[in-house]
Amino acid sequence: MENFYNLNAVSDIIGSDAQKLEGKTILWTGTNGFLGQWVIRVIKYLNEFVLRMPCKLLAFDIDIPSKLELNKFKDYGIYFHCHDLTTKLPIPEESIDFVVHMAGIASPTHYKVKPLETIDVALEGVRSTLEISKINNAKFLFTSSSEVYQTATIIPTPETYVGAIASNNERSCYDVSKLMAENYVYVYSRNYGVNACSVRIFNSFGPGISEHDSRILPRIASAAKSKKILNIYKSKFLPKRTYCPTANTIGGIFKALLNGKKTEIYNIGMSKPEVSVNELIDIVNETVNLNVKYQFVEPSSVYIDEPLRRCPDITKAINEIGYFPKVKLEKGIEDFFGWTEQAYTGIDH
């Protein structure tokens, strides 16, 4: 199943900038989540095949991998630490060169149930990690979300667009805390000299995402496995998204960490194709030869206020950090559904 992690593509996106990690120590939060699993594998890959002098990764999460997983990484400079990121992260005794705060509760179904934890992991987490960067004079990166744009009226959406985010619905705990955390990054950069920037991630998907995640591609894969009809949510206007294979996302995160400019924000995603859910299902069916059927149902409350469109303008990321997505949507779908065929069981959503 490791073969479905397209690490060659991630390494290609990072390119020669990977050499900036040689001999360095990185503190990274959220490393046991979906994106975090990719980060761990990328660091292992770089240390094994790319870097002349390996880097060291201090990987923090509320959970750590199983003993079987730990054994895969124990010889590659990766050290796992268990910590609840809703509470202050202690200052490490060793010197840190790079810090990434990626921990978060990203699934709407999950943050609806844990709104305070969602806020705390964003704000307490970013404050703690920024303090560590400040003390160590370390480069800092925060992973934000396209949710901060809400329903954008400019498509593709540039980083200069200011969305109107509601503070009083079931999605606000995630959206507003991400935006506030971006402001922490700005304040620490301008007032305390921390070399810090942020990325806004757009609809990443790929191997490693939990079958219990409520987002659309895991739900399509689960329906394909169970051969049940997929429920998709009614809307006056069918929401449209661009979907980004995770290899592109992780490559972009590393490019921003290594090349991002102080106080700046970068969109990380793909600017096309922008498709509705039913169009996405058609693409999946055609790409991996499935016959997933769907029906429209009333949305749960947390989806009533979801943004209608998400499509990034990545011009700034291309020009300033050298971010060029390498993996096309169809290849990402092939990798993901190849992995879910083995990993998923076909649960009810």
Q: Categorize the per-residue pLDDT at 237 as very low, low, confident or very high, splitting at 50, 70 and 90.
A: low
Which stretches within the chain are classed as H helix? 7-14, 34-45, 67-73, 108-113, 115-136, 172-192, 216-226, 246-259, 277-287, 301-304, 315-321, 329-343
- What is the C-alpha separation between 63 and 85, in angstroms, rounded? 10
Q: What percent of the chain has pLDDT over 70?
A: 98
Q: Is the pLDDT of residue 299 over 80?
A: no
Residue 288 falls inside a structural domain: no
Residue 104 falls inside a structural domain: yes
Mean pLDDT of the chain: 94
What confidence score (pLDDT) does residue 307 get? Answer: 82
Q: Is the pLDDT of residue 300 over 80?
A: no
Residue 291 falls inside a structural domain: no
What confidence score (pLDDT) does residue 308 get? Answer: 86
Residue 156 preceded by cis peptide, ω within 30 = yes
- What is the C-alpha separation between 206 and 330, in angstroms, rounded? 12
The single residue of 111, 174, 184, 344 carrying the catalytic annotation is: 174
- What is the C-alpha separation between 121 and 222, in angstroms, rounded? 29
Residue 137 falls inside a structural domain: yes
Residue numbers of the domain that contains 95: 2-205+243-271+309-327
Residue 126 falls inside a structural domain: yes
Half-sphere exposure of 329 (CA within 13 A, CB side): 20
Kindly report which listed range (8-17, 110-119, 140-149, 317-326) carries the lowest average pLDDT score.
110-119
Q: Is the pLDDT of residue 234 over 80?
A: no
Residue 277 falls inside a structural domain: no
Q: Is the pLDDT of residue 272 over 70?
A: yes
What confidence score (pLDDT) does residue 303 get? Answer: 67
Q: Is the pLDDT of residue 89 over 70?
A: yes
- pTM exceeds 0.75 for this model: yes
> Any idea what the CATH number is for the domain that residue 76 is in?
3.40.50.720
DSSP three-state, residue 228: coil
> pLDDT for 29-87, tens place per residue?
999 999 999 999 999 999 999 999 999 999 999 998 888 888 889 899 999 999 999 99
Residue 340 falls inside a structural domain: no
Q: Is 149 a catalytic residue?
A: no
- Concatenate the DSSP letters of all residues of 43-103 into one string: HHHIIIII-SS--EEEEEESS---HHHHHHHTTTTEEEEE--TTSPPPPPSS--SEEEE--
> pLDDT for 144-175, tens place per residue?
999 999 989 999 999 999 988 889 988 999 99
Residue 36 falls inside a structural domain: yes
Number of domains in the chain: 1
Q: Categorize the per-residue pLDDT at 194 as very low, low, confident or very high, splitting at 50, 70 and 90.
A: very high
Which element (helix H / strand E) includes 266? Answer: strand 265-268
What confidence score (pLDDT) does residue 238 get? Answer: 78
What confidence score (pLDDT) does residue 236 get? Answer: 61
What confidence score (pLDDT) does residue 186 get? Answer: 98
